[in-house]
Amino acid sequence: MKRTLAVVGIGLVAALATGAFVVLDKGGTFRTIDAHFAGRCTAIGGVVGAEDIVIDHKAKRAWISSDDRRAWAAGSPVRGVLYAYDLGSAAARPVDVTPPAPLDFHPHGMSLWTGPDGAQTLFVINHQSFGGHRVELFTVKDDTLSYMGGVVLAELKSPNAIVAVGERQFYVANDHGSGSDFGRWLEQTFALADANVVYFDGQGARIVATGLRFPSGIEVSVDGARIFVGEATGKAIKTYAREPLAGNLSLLATTPLDTAPDNLRRDDMGNIWVAAHPKLLALVGHFGSAEALSPSQVLRLSPEGDGFVAEEVLMDPGDTLSAASVAAVSGKRLLIGPIMDPRMLDCTLP
- Cβ neighbourhood burial of 189 (10 Å; 0-12, 13-18, 19+): middle
Q: Which of 335, 279, 271 is nearest to 309 (CA)?
A: 271
Q: What is the pLDDT of residues 100-127, one digit of tens each?
A: 999 999 999 999 999 999 999 999 999 9
Peptide bond connecting 338 to the previous residue in cis, omega within 30 degrees of 0: no
Count other C-beta atoms under 10 Å from residue 98's C-beta. 18
Q: What is the pLDDT of residues 63-86, one digit of tens each?
A: 999 999 999 999 999 999 999 999
Q: At residue 100, what is the residue type?
A: P
What is the arithmetic mean of pLDDT over 50-54?
98
Q: What is the pLDDT of residues 163-180, one digit of tens each?
A: 999 999 999 999 999 888
The DSSP letter of residue 194 is -
Q: How far apart are the first and last CA of the chain?
A: 67
